[in-house]
Structure 1
Amino acid sequence: MNDSKRPYSTYLPQERYIWQLALTGQERSLGILWELLEAIGIESTLVTPRVAQQKAFLALYLPSEREAQAMQQRLHELLESWSDMLDDEITIELARLENREWQESWKDFFHAEQVSPHLAVRPSWEDVRFPPEIRVISLDPGLSFGTGKHGTTRACLAFIDKIISERGPLPVLDVGCGSGILSIGAALLGCHPVVLFDFDPQAMIAVRENFACNGLDDYFLFMADAGRIPLAQTFPLVCANLETPIIEACYPSIIKTVAAGGYLIVSGILHPESNRVISLFRDHGFSLADQTRIDEWWTGLFRL
């Protein structure tokens, strides 16, 4: 079956896994590599061995096999370009982790940080204070993705912040909401109503827990397929942080939810695929108001 015709549900696994890239080498080289990756915005965790004979490794965590494979290819290219700065050969192994391993691994490197001018993200196990003008999203990754660490999430939150700063709070629809982080950010910035949905049952659990963790109870959550959105009303702000194949398969349903003059944030797009997505929405009456790239991920802000 062609990817562009594949149903949305096939992209959301019935059992949630996280994909780990483990870069193994001498600790000194990995320390240098960690700094190089941090400098270009790639988050990783340096794991030092408890046994002297074992090698240290850097761990990167991705929410899908597709993203993990794309990152693995990029890491191979980066290692080749940085070979003069590293003392030994570094190997890369890709592995799939179970749910429990995924949840525990996040505590090693998910820490509080500001992600836009008026928004910060903080894991529930950290007590970090921000200035009063900063709205703090408190959440755990749980079994659903979206923590503010991924470039697509950061870009979406930044665009939400920008739009609300310019236009004031707006009604919001969050398509494929995952952990609910985008909707929570919008709600903390005053948006109402906040409507969100996902196809994944685990997302329903994570969203309810994360909204409660932030003291929010005024939202409308339901389970649905992005290709068949059961809503008659339109919204001045719609967020769709998905993937290119899902966007291409589900865009007819998504664009029907955008109000005239409204904004559509589209993310989860690998940069080489961005021109396809731009053309797709331009062909259906949208103009590209802004765009950004974080690592290999492109995010577009469209206006109808």
Structure 2
Amino acid sequence: MHKNWYRGKWRVSKEVAPIVVEMLNSLTKRGLEIKSEGEIYEFFSYHPVEHWEGEKNIIEHQIILFAALFPDAVINCEWEKIPDKNWQKTWYRYFKPQRITSRLVILPPWEKYQAKPNEITIRIKPGMAFGTGTHETTQLCLKKMLALYPKEKPQSLLDVGTGTGILAILGAKMGIKDIMAIDTDPVAIEAAKENVKLNNIRNIQILLRSLEKIEKSFDWVVANLETSLILSRANCLKSCTKKTLILSGILKGEVEVIKSVLDLPCREINSLKEWVCMLF
């Protein structure tokens, strides 16, 4: 049990908040305490005193890189030493059921919830990897999958960059039988396996593997990735897709370059704040 902690008090412009949050979650695996969202995101990160020096050095190096890439953005952090926190109570306070649509609710593992008829619930342990349902790109994917499934009834799904496994889990709960979830981050693989177990799912194959090594194709391919990763893997994404490709993690200003590089008919574009989900 850690006795003392350092807390980072963050103020970050909304355009860079997702990458800063992802960096912190990947580094600490402890989750964040979100205070407010808007033009400026405010949140806390927590660091055991015995790990703080090393984590602080990595964080400050990353901040320098982010500041160079986004010179007009606000990326500020103030550090303070605090006494031990009761982390279980922190999770209970800040992670409550989140309704994505009238049919889908995302829950933390400890939350008691009585599902309504025809309602899908997914339990996700927060703080280990990207994709708890709070970020716009994840919500866009979830909504598109829910809307599209009754029309297409896919039999197979590939979730590229699975993170917490939330998209693969939704696929299984909708009725898709053959599901593969891949990621190149061991932390994400660990998180996805834990969340699949939490949801009592047994038909998802979770692999620490790059997309380039996938040799079969799937009715649906879903990829919630940064645009640079989508562009660099465009040919692989196309070759793995039998029928439908769902892409998210894309900013509105990046739509045309995605269309150009993929060179596929774009069937639909949905947006949430500055993010879009593209259906091919």
CA contact (8 A) 2:269 2:278 kept: yes
Q: Distance in 2 between matches of 1:162 and 1:173?
A: 18
Give 1:118 shift.
2.7
Task: Show the counterpart of 1:219.
Answer: 204
Question: Which of 245, 250, 270 in structure 2 is aligned with 1:264?
Answer: 245
State the AA in 1 paired with 2:227. T
Give 1:266 shift.
0.7
Task: Show the counterpart of 1:235.
Answer: 218
Task: Show the counterpart of 1:244.
Answer: 227
CA contact (8 A) 2:219 2:241 kept: yes
Task: Show the counterpart of 1:49.
Answer: none
RMSD: 3.6
Q: Distance in 1 between matches of 2:265 and 2:224?
A: 18
SS in 2 for 1:16: helix
1:135-189 per-residue CA deviation (whole Å, 9 max, x = no partner) reads 1001112421110100000000011111112222431110110110000011001
Task: Show the counterpart of 1:16.
Answer: 27
- Structure 1 runs not aligned, ≥5 long: 1-10, 24-33, 47-63, 77-91
Give 1:128 shift.
2.3
State the AA in 2 paired with 1:193. D
State the AA in 1 paired with 2:177. H
- Counterparts in 2 of 1:198 and 1:131: CA distance versus 1, 3 Å: same
Q: Is 2:198 aligned against 1:187?
A: no
Q: Distance in 1 between matches of 2:72 and 2:113?
A: 36
Task: Show the counterpart of 1:135.
Answer: 120
TM-score by length of 1: 0.66
Q: How high is the sequence identity, in percent, across the aligned residues?
A: 27
- Counterparts in 2 of 1:12 and 1:287: CA distance versus 1, 3 Å: farther
Q: Is 2:267 aligned against 1:300?
A: no
CA contact (8 A) 1:229 1:254 kept: no
SS in 2 for 1:239: strand
- Counterparts in 2 of 1:112 and 1:193: CA distance versus 1, 3 Å: same
Q: Distance in 1 between matches of 2:253 and 2:279?
A: 17
Point out 4+ residue stretches in structure 1 off by more than 4 angstroms. Answer: 17-23, 42-46, 68-74, 103-108
Q: Distance in 2 between matches of 1:73 and 1:190?
A: 45
SS in 2 for 1:288: coil
CA contact (8 A) 1:292 1:299 kept: yes
- Counterparts in 2 of 1:12 and 1:22: CA distance versus 1, 3 Å: closer
State the AA in 1 paired with 2:245. L
CA contact (8 A) 1:195 1:219 kept: yes
- Counterparts in 2 of 1:273 and 1:160: CA distance versus 1, 3 Å: same
CA contact (8 A) 2:34 2:42 kept: no
Q: Distance in 1 between matches of 2:210 and 2:63?
A: 21
- Counterparts in 2 of 1:73 and 1:122: CA distance versus 1, 3 Å: farther
Question: Which of 291, 294, 298 in structure 1 is aligned with 2:269?
Answer: 291
State the AA in 1 paired with 2:260. S
Higher relative contact order (CA 8 A, sep 6+): 1
Give 1:197 shift.
0.6
- Structure 2 runs not aligned, ≥5 long: 1-21, 45-61, 80-84
TM-score by length of 2: 0.71
